[in-house]
Every structure is written in structure tokens, then in C-alpha cells.
Amino acid sequence: MLILLILPMVVVGCGKKEEPPKVVGISVGLQTDKYVMTDNRIKVVYGSDDVYIKADDFKVSLKYSDGSSMVIRQNNLTTDGFSFSTNLPMDITPDVGEYTLTFKYQNYEEKKIVLEVIKADFVFEPEWDYTVPYYYDGIEKIITLKNLPTGVFATYTGNRQTEVGKYMAVAELTHINQKNYNPLGQATLEWEIIAE
């Protein structure tokens, strides 16, 4: 009769000893659906709440030589020997760029994930201070955008005229924080000065 014992060391037939599986590394996966990770990279938009990623957003497991795994970090539960570090600033909104999230367990090779913060769209509805045609009176008429959001500036063409006619005003919009926002583009308006 052959008896098989499952202990840290397994005795297999004929008295041959087999070593337990060895840790070969760690694996890191997301445990939230607010991110998508592809090839150890996560993209988030500048200024969004998603940029404040933390260890709780990941499930970390030890990988063993036999293909099995054991969870060492999930939700708020952490196994001794696990560490998480990042160069992502947590006290200010991180600028567009790449940041590293590093997961480590004891002396095993660390796992790195890249968090890429990408430019955001700055969304607002430009509103002109023109609603009805001006009457010609020999004085220059100037139209501009009103109530521009803080940090948004406009450079105008075609917005200053004196003579009767139809005109096209163009406002080139820029945000002072061009590093973190996509180009804003233009706002245009057809306007006119009419004879009395």
C-alpha cells in the first residue's frame, strides 16, 4: 500500500522527494474597472480623479514555478514583505507625463507599471458679446468673447470694423496650461454693421 502525504515536502512513490514549488516572481492585475491596463501601461486623463491611483486598485500575487499563484495584496489586506512605491505626486494634480508604480515582495524581482497621464480637453462654450447687427455711426465696432474661463485667452482677427458690411470674427483660443490641455482651436462668428 502506498501512502501519499501532502506536506511542504512531498514523498512520491519509491521514497523520492520532490521540492515544493518555488516563487518565480509576482504578477499585478487591476481589481477595479475604472482603469485599463495594456502591456503594463495605464492611461489616465489629466485632471481626472482617476489619476490618483493607489495600491488598493491592484491585486498582487506570487507566481510559483508550477504555474500556481497566491494573492499577497488585495483590497486592504497585505502580506508582510509587500511594498508599493510611486513617483506620482499625491498632493498636487500630476502633469502630463509618465509615472512609475513599483510593486515588490521581499527580495523578489519588482514589478513596474507605467501610469501615463495624457492631455485633457478643456471644454467650454465660447460666447460672443454680439447679438444684433450694429448700425453704422462712423465709430469702430469691436466684438469679443465674454466670460472666458480662468486660464483661457483669445487672440482676435476680423473683430474690429468701422464700415458697413458683413465680417467674420475669429478668436484663436489658448489655455495657459498648454502642457496639460489639448489645443482649444477657434471660435468664429459672422457679424455685421448695417446702414441706418
| Mean of pLDDT values over 26-35 | 87
What per-residue confidence (pLDDT) applies to 23? 82
pLDDT top residue among 18 and 32: 32
Q: Say yes or no to pLDDT of 57 above 80.
A: yes
Q: Say yes or no to pLDDT of 16 above 70.
A: no
Alpha-carbon distance 129 to 174, whole Å?
Answer: 19
Alpha-carbon distance 58 to 103, whole Å?
Answer: 10
Task: Give residue-wise pLDDT tens across range 118-163.
Answer: 999 999 999 999 999 999 999 999 999 999 999 999 999 999 999 9
Closest among 40, 31, 169 to 113, alpha carbons compared = 40
| Mean of pLDDT values over 99-104 | 92
| Mean of pLDDT values over 7-35 | 72
What per-residue confidence (pLDDT) applies to 109? 81
Closest among 59, 110, 115 to 90, alpha carbons compared = 115
125 burial (CB, 10 Å; 0-12 / 13-18 / 19+) is: exposed
All structural domains of the chain with their residue ranges: 10-118, 127-194
The CATH number corresponding to 10-118 among 2.60.40, 3.40.1340, 2.40.128, 1.10.10 equals 2.60.40
